[in-house]
Structure 1
Amino acid sequence: MRAYFCDLLGMVEVPKPDNLSPSGLWLEGGGAKLHIGVDPDFVSARKAHPAFLVDNLEVLRDRLTQAGYTAQDDKPVEGYVRFFTFDPFGNRIELMQQA
Structure 2
Amino acid sequence: MPFTFVCIDHVQLAMPPGQESRAVAFYRDVLGMEHVPKPEPLASRGGAWFRAGAVAVHLGAEHDFRPARKAHPGLVVKGINDIAAALEAAGHAVRWSDELPEVRRFHTDDPFGNRIEIIDGG
Give the TM-score normalised by structure 2: 0.75
Verify: 1:5 aligned to 2:27, yes or no: yes
Identity over aligned pairs, percent: 40
Aligned residues: 98
Runs of at least 5 residues in structure 2 that lack an aligned partner in the other structure = 1-22
Corresponding residue for 1:94? 117
Shift of 1:56: 1.2
- CA–CA distance in 2 between the matches of 1:95 and 1:30? 15
Verify: 1:76 aligned to 2:104, yes or no: no
Give the TM-score normalised by structure 1: 0.91
Instruction: Return the index of the structure with the highest Cα Rg.
Output: 2
| Aligned 8 A contact 1:30 1:54 in 2 | no
- CA–CA distance in 1 between the matches of 2:101 and 2:51? 25
Residue type of the partner of 2:80? L
Runs of at least 5 residues in structure 1 that lack an aligned partner in the other structure = none
Change in Cα spacing, 1:97 to 1:89, as seen in structure 2 (3 Å) is same
Shift of 1:49: 0.4
> RMSD of the alignment, in Å?
1.3
Shift of 1:77: 4.8
